[in-house]
Structure 1
Amino acid sequence: MTHQTIVIRDAQPSDTDAVREVLENAYAEYEQLLSRERWEAYKENIANSLIDANVKAHLLAEAEGTLLGSVFLYHSSDAAYGLPELNIHAPIMRLLAVTRQARGQGIATALIAETIERSRTWGADTLYLHTSDVMQSAVQLYERLGFERADDKDIHKGDSVVKSYRLSLVEADRTIGGKR
């Protein structure tokens, strides 16, 4: 699948089954790393994202008609998580997923670049995301692209912490080759 032209586009209702497959493929590696109850809750969260009316944009990456990646954008912490108390009134990127077979081809970076552009068109100057330490390759990508820890926006679930990261969309020009 190398050297293919990657197209980033908005998801359509007819994409739901293919997106579910991408998400299941991308996140299956974490099943063994999470407790059974956390994994089941995570799978339910993923399934619910496919029908979530609070999604502001759902972007897909495809090549030659094959869906390779997906990302969801929300306009606030209330819309993304039902947590208005996080007080995030800026776009939040969730469930960035690239199939295991298509990793290493810049697909995640292309999806993130498009989330940055969308966020800018909405007038935002910051983009947020939440992740956990178990997703080390994702954390490394986010940090390489200029996302910085925003521990004041972490989500605490019992004894676990879902870590928050933020990206200044002005700074993103330098780290991701922004179009401004």
Structure 2
Amino acid sequence: MNTTEFTIRNAKPEEYQNIGALMVKVYSALDGFPKPHQHPKYYEMLANVGELTNKPGTEILVAVSSEGNIAGVVVYFGDMQYYGSGGTATQEKNAAGFRLLAVDDSQRGKGIGKLLTMFCLEKAKQQQLPQMIIHTTNAMKPAWRMYENIGFKRSEDLDFKQGELEVFGFRFLL
């Protein structure tokens, strides 16, 4: 796993459209995850992910290869009221969160998801926030395992259902 060839930085507005397309591609390919025709509002949000940065403390972070290609992306929320999920997560105080982690298929297995996750944890520490909140689904088992290996713990109080899709909450205490 060679993550040294990737740099994490804030996405540039001119990259938002391509980032949205990457997210749509990644999420629509997940086995067991709703497809665009089943959840059009969700995929519209993914396609227009740049709009999330209009909320205070919200950043799109990208992992960029040495050639300048975006290999992965995540949306970081320094203020949970803008997190935008169902359930109780948006009511969490003194917490950061991240959502919509996506790694390009051609870049999987290189530690990019972990690199983005660790970067988010470091951002929260720098902001002196005591915990990180995330969600995942059964369709995202590789990410689920990665989060648990990093030290995230299941937090059933954050679980919710999005239509028929079960969404599972996790916490990391910083």
TM-score band, normalised by shorter chain: 0.7 to 0.9
Q: Does 1:88 align with 2:92?
A: yes
1:65 counterpart SS class: coil
CA distance in 2, matches of 1:104, 1:35: 24
CA contact (8 A) 1:92 1:129 kept: yes
2:166 counterpart SS class: strand
Query: In structure 2, do the counterparts of structure 1 residues 159 and 19 end up closer, same or farther at CA, with 3 Å as the change threshold?
Result: closer
1:145 CA drift (Å): 1.2
CA contact (8 A) 1:131 1:163 kept: yes
CA distance in 1, matches of 2:109, 2:68: 19
Aligned residues: 168
1:98 CA drift (Å): 0.4
Q: Does 1:102 align with 2:107?
A: yes
Q: How does 1:69-148 map to 2 (within 5 A)?
A: 69-81=72-84, 85-86=88-89, 87-89=91-93, 90-148=95-153
CA contact (8 A) 1:149 1:163 kept: yes
Query: Percent of pairs identical after alignment?
Result: 25
CA contact (8 A) 2:27 2:33 kept: no
Q: TM-score, normalised by structure 1?
A: 0.81
- Structure 1 equivalent of residue 162 of structure 2: 157
Tell me the amino acid that sits aligned with residue 24 of structure 2.
E
1:30 counterpart SS class: coil
> Which residue of 62, 76, 93 corresponds with 1:60?
62
CA contact (8 A) 2:63 2:116 kept: yes
CA contact (8 A) 1:68 1:102 kept: yes
CA distance in 2, matches of 1:36, 1:20: 13
What do the CA deviations read for 1:58-106 (whole angstroms, capped 9, x no partner)? 1100111111110001134431116684421211110001001100001
CA contact (8 A) 1:22 1:67 kept: no
Task: Identify the structure with bigger relative contact order (alpha carbons < 8 Å, sequence gap 6+).
Answer: 2
Tell me the amino acid that sits aligned with residue 149 of structure 2.
R
My pick for the range that moved more, 50-59 or 145-154, is: 50-59
My pick for the range that moved more, 118-127 or 93-102, is: 118-127
1:33 CA drift (Å): 4.2
CA distance in 2, matches of 1:25, 1:35: 10
Tell me the amino acid that sits aligned with residue 99 of structure 1.
D
CA contact (8 A) 1:31 1:39 kept: no
